[in-house]
Chains A and B, each alone.
Chain A
Amino acid sequence: MQMNPVLTIALPLILAFTKIMYRRIANLFLVLGSLLNVLVVFFIKEGQYLMGGYAPPFGIVLQVDAYALYSLLVLNVLFAALTILVTKKAENLTSSSLIALAALNGLILTGDLFNLFVFLEIAAIAAIIIASSSKRYHHAFHYMVASIIGSTFYLLGLILLYKQYGTLNMAKMHELMLASPGGSSVAVILIFVGLAVEVKLMPFSGWVKGVLKNADEWIGPMIGAIYGGAMMIVMGRLFTDVFVVSPKVTLLLSILALVTLVGGEAAAYDSEKMREILLYSGVAQSGLEILLILNGYAALSFILILSNMMAKYVMFLLSGYIVNAAGTDVLGDLKGLFRSNPFLGFAFTAAGLSLAGLPLFVGFFIKLNILYNLMMSHSYWLPAIILITSLVEGIYMLRMILGLWQTGLEVQETGIQIISPSNIKTKYAVHAITLILSLAMVVFGLMPDYALDLAQKARGNAVADKPAMMIGMKGGPGQ
């Protein structure tokens, strides 16, 4: 059996449209829709899918390659898991969430630049509505202003590209740009800036703090993990498969990404609150991802995006529950929290250690390969900077995790817990899903070859002159 990928967009949409007629069973719609989507994703085959029967450069196409397919799978599974876990929060947001899902799928699938813009807008508005559920309206408004500026810039750049190349189709645009790349830099920069707002690249990410520092278990994983990941995948698509970026622009944008990496890690190091640490570290990670994308390490950036997405998902989800239970996310007040919740603690720890790139977890091999490949192009500075930022990240990550495991001085001396969020009230599903995700990180950490091979296959041919050399457990080059 084979399914048309457009169903991953159409199904949630149709459910969202019909849902407003059936308010009572809204949740069912959401869960059903997202699960159906996961099911559909399994039956999608790679290929090009036309819309309305019009041939590619003129009509809109959905471009399903391994890259899109794997991203789609991860995204839909994570989304479905979230809808199962957090039904209560999502009650008023069923339609918005379904539309968000449709838009994110569309973003990943579409092969048309303007279509991408449309989905970008839908996704952004859906995200803003989801973000406003935390009742911090001025923060959501901030997000809105930022994303409108972003999409304006994107469209401006897009129309300049259209003026130069006369097409909106990604594949054709790529060919034309390859033939004559001159003069397109401004447009590419504008598009980059437009998307950078969404992927939380640093000078453009002012909105992130307001939105995510108050995130609950619904907003956090949604905006912090799923959205960030999907947008980054779009970024990866555009800047490896479509645009031909001049070395100078690459350099400029890489500097920006590097600033983000360093600044984000520093800001996270400075924070004392769990969610702030997570959001700043997310900003920093996006800097690293963009750095890889811009410099042509497509496969590496891809697997980094996916693993970060999973890790951030777990951490944001759990931080939401922790805040629910404890009423605060100041790390000093949460000492010893995981003592009474070892399984959640394990999941959080595994995600954190994976994010920091420690062995036994998948993050390590990804980081190793990043460094190895960067070094293979005979640059020692970039790996050094990445290692230093990893050091900072490792320290604050472990500070956070250890703080959550370790009981405070008062507790040790008196034996009485000052705050007693002893049992974070969660469903067993939360335990199950976070544990599965964290175990996946361990399994892929022990056997990274499979994941690395998939990434290689998905993106290995994206950049001709920089085929990634992957070191897995099986060994790597020079073995």
Chain B
Amino acid sequence: MIKMVGLISGKISDFVVLIIFWATLIYFIRRSMAGKLPNLRRLPAIDAIDEALGRASEMGKTVLFSHGTGTLESSEAAGSLAAIAALPYIARKCAQLELQLFLPTGSHTAYNVLSEVAREAYQLEGKPELFNQNNVQYLSSVSRAYSAGVMSTLMTQNVGAAIMLGSYHHAGLMLVETANRVGALAVGGTDSTAQIPWFVAGCDYALIGEEIYALGAYISKDPISVGGLAGLDILKAVILAIMALGVVLFQVGVDLSKWFTV
């Protein structure tokens, strides 16, 4: 029996959309891998981080950086990785301002990464003696125990700036609340949708969802991440244009949505 190979009707438009989108992404990622890094806009979060660290330095306090309750081995790896990508910048700033930086983590893999990144940052600023290995704390991979550990660091170590990025389980709100209670300036951001409201309400500056990936890419300048973001930006712009066009045409009786169900 010979059957023809063909496209499934009703899915053709989706297929075309997928091909175009992926082609765009590949083009931009290849381009930035070849060295043409697109410029990302400076995110207000960076200014917020600078301000928080500056205030901590003025008041003679310490800094805490948390990459979230997700570990590097789980499905929340993306959030943690984006957060860790932002660490080199924060650690160097801390070294410049001669601040103590606390790095609690719930992942063994991340423990080594955090130690390396922080040590290197203090070295690059010519202040390796300020780096304290004991400030990198392995707490627990259990979300509740991790939060309890971070909370005790916040309360006992005179923290003036708390930077909390990454994926957070439901304990996230307790960290934010504690940071507030001890009077630390909090910059937070998470891709865990249910936790975003708590971060927005409780932090002095909050990054929303995808912004943490953008922050990571902005700081790390990793070609794949930056290229991917640039490609996605073009796609978002195209979507916005189609939306605007579609809304206008819809008013005069032309329904573009028919084209999406071919």
User: Are A and B physically bound partners?
Assistant: no
